[in-house]
Amino acid sequence: MSIRLGMMEKPSLKVRWIARRNAIFASSRFHYWAARIPFIKSVARKRATQMFDHLVGFSYSQVLRASVESGLLDLLAKGPVSADQVASEIDLSRDAALRLLRAARALDLAEEGAPDGWMLGQQGAVLQADPGTQAMIRHHRLLYADLNDPLDLLRRDRAEPTELSRYWSYAGALHGAATRGAETEEYSELMAASQRFVADEVIGAFRFPKQGKLLDVGGGHGAFLRRVGAVYPELHLGLFDLPEVVETARAHLARDVGSERLTCHPGNFFEEAVPTGYDLVSLVRILHDHDDGPALALLKNIRASLGPRGRLLIAEPMAEIPGAEPMGDAFFGLYLWAMGSGRPRSPREIKAMLKEAGFSRTRLVATAQPVIASCIVAET
């Protein structure tokens, strides 16, 4: 409660309700009572399961990582295989292999098709067939290293290097790399997977102009443009990114979407004007990578490039989205903190920034999977 002019301010109804609710939930008498009432019992059990998942979620993620990095999923795809075969192939003792197999079974990554005949589970089959998601699982080892002491991470100066900030600094050097070697493989797979997921959500939620002109700002090697271009074959496509990135992307992107409908613009969107002549500009997982000052400067730069009836499409995971709150703030909040730049923003915050940048109208476009991305469209 706050103190104002020497007097105690009466707490709001919401504050009083939350305090009363928390007191009840913390009561052992309530737990005893709730465990014996059929409907209340099911609600209590669900909440207990959620809390347990929060408690042991790190273990779940490490079972995923072990299943991917050991090659277990690829081995199970050839199954059924015995525990002895698994142990031999992934260099574990039989007991350790069984421990991993049973943990994977609990997460539906594995199952026994016959006694000691192990195969992929339903989730395992999906994951094994998706190298991009596997790349994301391998990548998260860096975040988990930074989160070894979360309070230490939060107390550190954001300019201080972390595993993630080192990775992205190095990835920046790889961003325009012309060759694919061992050092670029994870980065390339990670970018392709994440952009594909977001692109599919955007295409399913937003109707692009059939014969308009789309400029993707910070579009990398063109993964987003490829997906959109395949669905809208008459849409003219533009790519604006750093010169070395554009140079690497140009030939492959032209081959995939057609050189006659592609224009590549080399440049730095913080230092140079965004190219004009486009009626739609997209920012895909760009805004949340930057702190408020640079993010607002980028929005103003885009606004200056758009003519009357121009539009900006922002697509990225956002904070405070109903049903996707953990992804927005619990995951990306800490991920971007460890990265040393940016933050997840709510639609309300993004709309306020767009208004300050000079856009007249904004609207939130619902997607099927907001844990992957939400969309905001702004008009000039």
pLDDT digits (tens, 9 = 90+) for 291-318: 999 999 999 999 999 999 999 999 999 9
Contact assessment for residue 201 and residue 226, using Cβ atoms and an 8 Å cutoff: no
Single pTM value for the model? 0.82
- The pLDDT value recorded for residue 311 is 98
Provide the β-strand partners of residue 130: none
- The pLDDT value recorded for residue 270 is 93
Question: Would you tell me how many other CB atoms lie within 10 Å of the CB of residue 225?
Answer: 27
Rounded Cα distance, 157 and 141, in Å: 21
Contact assessment for residue 9 and residue 15, using Cβ atoms and an 8 Å cutoff: no
Answer whether CATH 1.10.10.10 is correct for domain 29-128.
Answer: yes
* DSSP per-residue string spanning 107-118: TTSEEEEETTEE
Written in H, E and C, the secondary structure of 242-292 is CHHHHHHHHHHHHHHHCHHHEEEEECCCCCCCCCCCCCEEEEECCHHHCCH
Residue (of 360, 335, 357) closest to 168 by Cα position: 335
Assign 13 to helix, strand or coil. helix
Domain boundaries, the chain: 29-128, 191-379
Given the DSSP bridges, would you call strands 7-8 and 3-4 parallel, antiparallel or unpaired?
antiparallel
> One digit per residue, pLDDT tens: the chain, 380 residues?
444 444 557 788 888 777 777 776 667 666 556 566 666 666 666 767 777 777 888 999 999 999 999 999 999 999 899 999 999 999 999 999 999 999 999 999 999 998 999 999 999 999 999 887 888 899 899 999 999 999 999 998 888 899 998 888 765 554 444 444 444 456 666 776 778 889 999 999 999 998 899 999 999 889 999 999 999 999 999 999 999 889 888 999 999 999 999 999 999 999 999 999 999 999 999 999 999 999 999 999 999 999 999 999 999 999 999 989 988 889 999 999 999 999 999 999 999 999 999 999 999 999 999 999 999 999 99
Q: Let me know if the fold of 29-128 is the same as that of 191-379.
A: no
Cα–Cα distances (Å) from 283 to 18, 164, 280, in that order, read 38, 22, 10
Provide the β-strand partners of residue 13: none
Tokens 């032209």 belong to which residue? 254
- The pLDDT value recorded for residue 3 is 44
Amino acid at 212: G
- The pLDDT value recorded for residue 185 is 57
Residue (of 360, 358, 338) closest to 165 by Cα position: 338
Given the DSSP bridges, would you call strands 280-284 and 262-266 parallel, antiparallel or unpaired?
unpaired
Q: What are phi and psi of 29, to 5 degrees?
A: -65, -40
Residue (of 330, 335, 367) closest to 347 by Cα position: 367
Q: Which fold has domain 191-379?
A: Rossmann fold (3.40.50)
- The pLDDT value recorded for residue 167 is 85
Q: What are phi and psi of 9, to 5 degrees?
A: -80, 135
Provide the β-strand partners of residue 265: 240
Given the DSSP bridges, would you call strands 374-379 and 361-365 parallel, antiparallel or unpaired?
antiparallel
- Count of residues making up the chain: 380
Contact assessment for residue 278 and residue 209, using Cβ atoms and an 8 Å cutoff: no
Q: What are phi and psi of 377, to 5 degrees?
A: -110, 130
- The pLDDT value recorded for residue 183 is 46
